[in-house]
């Protein structure tokens, strides 16, 4: 019924538009299509950019839906702190047959650590389609660029009972400046990042109040992990493992899942 109402309203609106057009200007004709070839060039990178302590560049991946022929198009780059970004490309180029390529952006060496610098990359409308397929297929990217000192600390396997995930070759990072450890998990079952502190008694304090799990519960919203009071987080030196006690909820819907669970990172090298 809703669909029928939408079509009915659209039909009425079209009839009214046509009537007005005929009465006001009999010589009216449609203008040229903005993107007649349905070419879609898009930004394929994550918006969050981390630059290591000894680095001053980062790359942005871009792509297109039609790969025949070489192509060069202009690209717009804007920022609130233009003195930070010193070498910015003004065009995107594809070789014949290439679906993806990258541009490199150079920053000043004296960026303040753990300060977010924002920049926007925009592809002109005539090279894009109106609707994107997903969040990583967009004609515009709002970049959050941060220089940090996180470095590899340990490698191991990350387990999540709630998400039924077992992620091998995962990494645990450490920031000397902040004194924080960082977990970054990327898997088909989950994708999340959080930081924590190991206290003198080997208890763990998780810094984030809510940690998005990288997936949504249909009809309700995003699933988040939060610190569980009945499962204290800790580091066990005998197991060489970090245990994180979580409960899970969908904040947007005010819904909580029953029970609490441990995620744990087992050090292997």
Q: How many CB atoms lie within 10 A of CB 99?
A: 11
**pLDDT of res. 20:** 44
**pLDDT of res. 2:** 31
246 contact partners, CB below 8 Å, separation of at least 6: 162, 211, 225, 226, 227, 228, 231, 260, 261, 262, 263
CB 106 within 8 A of CB 56: yes
Q: What is the CATH number of the domain that holds 55?
A: 2.60.40.2030
52, 125: one domain = yes
111 closest CA partner among 159, 59, 50, 167:
50
Residue 209 lies inside a defined structural domain of this protein: yes
Report pLDDT digits (tens) over 143-164.
Answer: 999 999 999 999 999 999 999 9
**pLDDT of res. 193:** 94
250, 213: one domain = yes
CB 179 within 8 A of CB 197: yes
248, 176: one domain = yes
58, 138: one domain = yes
Distance between CA atoms of residues 234 and 257, nearest Å: 23
Distance between CA atoms of residues 75 and 129, nearest Å: 15
> Which of 122, 147, 172 is where one domain is finished?
147
Provide the CA 241 distance to its chain's centre, in angstroms. Answer: 28
pLDDT along the chain (269 residues), means of 10: 32 37 50 63 89 93 93 91 84 96 92 92 87 63 93 96 94 96 92 96 97 93 96 97 97 94 95
Residue 103 lies inside a defined structural domain of this protein: yes
Residue 215 lies inside a defined structural domain of this protein: yes
Q: Which domain holds residue 125?
A: 41-147
The two most distant CA atoms of the chain are separated, in Å, by 85
> Which of 108, 124, 147 is where one domain is finished?
147
120, 228: one domain = no
**pLDDT of res. 28:** 52
156, 257: one domain = yes
> Which of 147, 177, 209 is where one domain is finished?
147
Report pLDDT digits (tens) over 48-92.
Answer: 899 999 999 999 999 999 999 999 999 999 987 768 898 888 999
**pLDDT of res. 80:** 75
Number of domains present in the structure of the chain: 2
**pLDDT of res. 61:** 94
């Amino acid at each position: 019924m809703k669909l029928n109402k939408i079509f009915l309203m659209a039909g009425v609106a079209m009839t009214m538009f046509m009537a007005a057009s005929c009465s006001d200007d009999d010589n009216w004709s449609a203008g040229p299509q903005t993107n007649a070839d349905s070419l879609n060039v898009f930004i394929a990178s994550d918006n969050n950019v981390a630059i290591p302590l000894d680095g001053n560049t980062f790359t942005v991946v871009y792509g297109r839906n039609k790969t025949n022929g070489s192509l060069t198009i202009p690209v717009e780059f804007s920022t609130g702190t233009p003195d930070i970004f010193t070498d910015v490309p003004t065009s995107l180029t594809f070789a014949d047959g290439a679906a993806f390529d990258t541009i490199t952006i150079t920053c000043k060496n004296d960026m303040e650590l753990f300060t977010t610098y924002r920049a926007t990359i925009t592809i002109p409308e005539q090279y894009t389609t109106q609707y994107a397929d997903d969040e990583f297929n967009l004609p515009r990217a709002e970049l959050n660029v941060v220089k940090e000192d996180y470095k590899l600390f340990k490698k191991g396997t990350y387990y999540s009972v709630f998400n039924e995930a077992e992620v091998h070759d995962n990494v645990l990072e450490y920031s000397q400046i902040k004194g924080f450890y960082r977990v970054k998990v990327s898997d088909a079952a989950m994708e999340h990042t959080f930081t924590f502190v190991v206290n003198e008694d080997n208890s763990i304090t998780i810094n984030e109040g809510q940690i998005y799990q990288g997936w949504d519960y249909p009809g309700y919203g995003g699933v988040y992990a939060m610190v569980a009071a009945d499962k204290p987080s800790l580091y066990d030196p005998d197991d060489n493992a970090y245990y994180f006690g979580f409960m899970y909820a969908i904040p947007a819907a005010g819904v909580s899942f029953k029970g609490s669970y441990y995620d744990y990172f087992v050090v292997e090298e």
